[in-house]
């Protein structure tokens, strides 16, 4: 396994699942579960009174739209005792050519951590390289690691430990798919990715899988991918920043997750989607609203997973 790249001196960044070893990912999921359980007693019991991030401030920078990531980080921080500042790239001097490195240096003097959604992955790495506070990747064009931590947590709630299990991805090999690939390798589960060749994963990710071992196969046939899978995952055909919408719709039609495709997966397979969903495109109503769908558990678990991530970044260990 490569050395984790998530610590720079004493600063802990959450940039990609690939940077983590299995033990740390499992500990994060266990902590998220503890926070979820603690919340169940609230406000009637004594649970969830623990405020480990009291006095800490998270800056959130959104250069793109968000509902779940934005709200779940905000609420997570408040429930842990901290506060947030919400910023958009367009209202910061970033939009007037201040460098991301200088932005990192300045933010490091004011706040305790930064969560950023910016399509340019290299810029997020640059932010982290120049910050002396933790940086959390809230989605780039290349990955969405906070999402997939919550997804693994959700799978395990419904199906038990993910190690050795089989998951299928159908559709565009996008940022969420890349984080699933990282998770599969690090946590030791099988991943079958079905995408049209034009929208297949980047060669560098294939190389990473080869170098790190892991049971991940990249193919084109959705029926083959879902065979025996205990979880079928899908996502938007057109992600933020994609401009070739018509072409993508044409290429991805055959990858729609519908009742027929779900019937080819394992009996009682679950359906997952990070949301927002485009009903009638990557998934049909009967699947996303049906008994196999766990998409709103997934959305809820973002909140609990964000807490684990924030605590990991902000507490020394």
Active site residues: 117, 144, 147, 235, 274, 302
Burial of 196 per CB tally in 10 Å (0-12, 13-18, 19+): middle
Q: Is 275 in the site for ligand CP (CB under 6 A)?
A: yes
Angle between helices 100-110 and 121-130 (to 10 degrees): 50
Nearest-CB residue for ligand NVA: 239
Q: Is 236 in the site for ligand NVA (CB under 6 A)?
A: yes
How many Cα atoms within 13 Å fall on the side-chain side of residue 315? Answer: 14
Q: How far is CA 281 from CA 34, 39, 143, 147, 295, in A?
A: 36, 35, 22, 21, 16
Q: Is 241 in the site for ligand CP (CB under 6 A)?
A: no
Q: What is the side-by-side order of every strand in the sheet holding 57-62? A: 83-88, 57-62, 113-117, 135-137
Alpha carbons 288 and 143: distance in angstroms, whole number: 23
Could you write out the DSSP letters of every residue in 10-71?
Answer: TEE-B--GGGS-HHHHHHHHHHHHHHHHHHHTTTTSSTT---TTTT-EEEEEESS--SHHHH
The three-state DSSP-derived secondary structure of 198-234 is: HHCCCHHHHHHHHHHCCCEEEECCHHHHHCCCCEEEE
Based on its alpha-carbon atoms, the radius of gyration of the chain, rounded to whole angstroms, reads: 19
Q: Is 72 in the site for ligand NVA (CB under 6 A)?
A: no
CB of 70: closest distance to ligand CP in angstroms? 6
Q: Choose between 265 and 272: whose C-beta lies nearer to ligand CP.
A: 272
Among ligand NVA, ligand CP, none, partner that 67 touches (CB below 5 to 8 angstroms by kind): ligand CP
Among 72, 174, 179, 256, binds ligand NVA (CB under 6 A): 174
The 135-164 contact track toward ligand NVA, x by CB under 6 A, reads: ----x-------------------------
The 139-158 contact track toward ligand CP, x by CB under 6 A, reads: x-------x-----------
Alpha carbons 138 and 144: distance in angstroms, whole number: 6
Q: Is 71 in the site for ligand NVA (CB under 6 A)?
A: no
Among 176, 183, 191, 194, binds ligand NVA (CB under 6 A): 176
CB of 236: closest distance to ligand NVA in angstroms? 5
Q: Choose between 36 and 68: whose C-beta lies nearer to ligand NVA.
A: 68
Q: Is 274 in the site for ligand NVA (CB under 6 A)?
A: yes
CB of 188: closest distance to ligand NVA in angstroms? 25
Q: Is 235 in the site for ligand NVA (CB under 6 A)?
A: yes
Whose tokens are 């299928």? That residue is 168
How big is the site for ligand CP, counted in residues (CB under 6 A)? 9
Q: Is 24 in the site for ligand NVA (CB under 6 A)?
A: no
Alpha carbons 208 and 40: distance in angstroms, whole number: 40
Closest CA to 186 of 28, 14, 24: 24
Among 105, 239, 254, 297, binds ligand NVA (CB under 6 A): 239
Among ligand NVA, ligand CP, none, partner that 235 touches (CB below 5 to 8 angstroms by kind): ligand NVA
Q: Choose between 174 and 301: whose C-beta lies nearer to ligand NVA.
A: 174
Alpha carbons 26 and 208: distance in angstroms, whole number: 21
Among 49, 67, 90, 93, binds ligand CP (CB under 6 A): 67
Contact residues for ligand NVA, defined by CB under 6 A: 139, 174-176, 235-236, 239-240, 274
Contact residues for ligand CP, defined by CB under 6 A: 66-70, 139, 147, 274-275
């Amino acid at each position: 396994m490569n050395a984790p790249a998530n610590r720079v001196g004493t600063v802990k960044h959450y940039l990609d699942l690939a940077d983590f070893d299995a033990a740390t990912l499992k500990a994060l999921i266990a902590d998220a579960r503890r926070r979820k359980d603690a919340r169940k007693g609230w406000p009637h019991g004594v649970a969830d009174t623990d405020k480990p991030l009291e006095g800490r401030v998270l800056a959130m920078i959104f250069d793109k739209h968000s509902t779940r990531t934005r709200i779940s980080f905000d609420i997570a921080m408040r429930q842990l005792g901290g506060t947030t500042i919400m910023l958009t790239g367009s209202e910061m001097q970033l939009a007037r050519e201040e460098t991301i490195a200088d932005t990192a240096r300045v933010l490091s003097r004011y706040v305790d951590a930064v969560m950023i959604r910016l399509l340019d992955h290299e810029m997020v790495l640059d932010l982290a390289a120049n910050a002396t506070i933790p940086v959390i990747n809230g989605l780039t064009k290349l990955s969405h690691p906070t999402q997939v931590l919550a997804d693994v947590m959700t799978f395990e709630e419904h199906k038990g430990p993910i190690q050795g299990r089989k998951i299928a991805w159908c559709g565009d090999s996008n940022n969420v798919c890349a984080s699933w690939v990282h998770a599969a390798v690090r946590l030791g589960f099988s991943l079958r990715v079905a995408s049209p060749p034009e929208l297949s994963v980047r060669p560098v990710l294939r190389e990473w899988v080869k170098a790190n071992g892991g049971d991940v196969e990249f193919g084109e046939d959705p029926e083959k991918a879902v065979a025996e899978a205990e979880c079928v995952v899908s996502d938007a055909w057109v992600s933020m920043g994609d401009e070739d919408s018509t072409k993508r719709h044409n290429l991805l039609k055959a990858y729609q997750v519908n009742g027929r495709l779900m019937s080819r997966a394992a009996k009682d397979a679950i359906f997952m989607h990070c949301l927002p969903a485009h009903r009638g495109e990557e998934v049909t109503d009967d699947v996303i609203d049906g008994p196999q769908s766990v998409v709103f558990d997934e959305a809820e678990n973002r909140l609990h997973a964000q807490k684990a991530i924030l605590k990991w970044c902000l507490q020394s260990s």
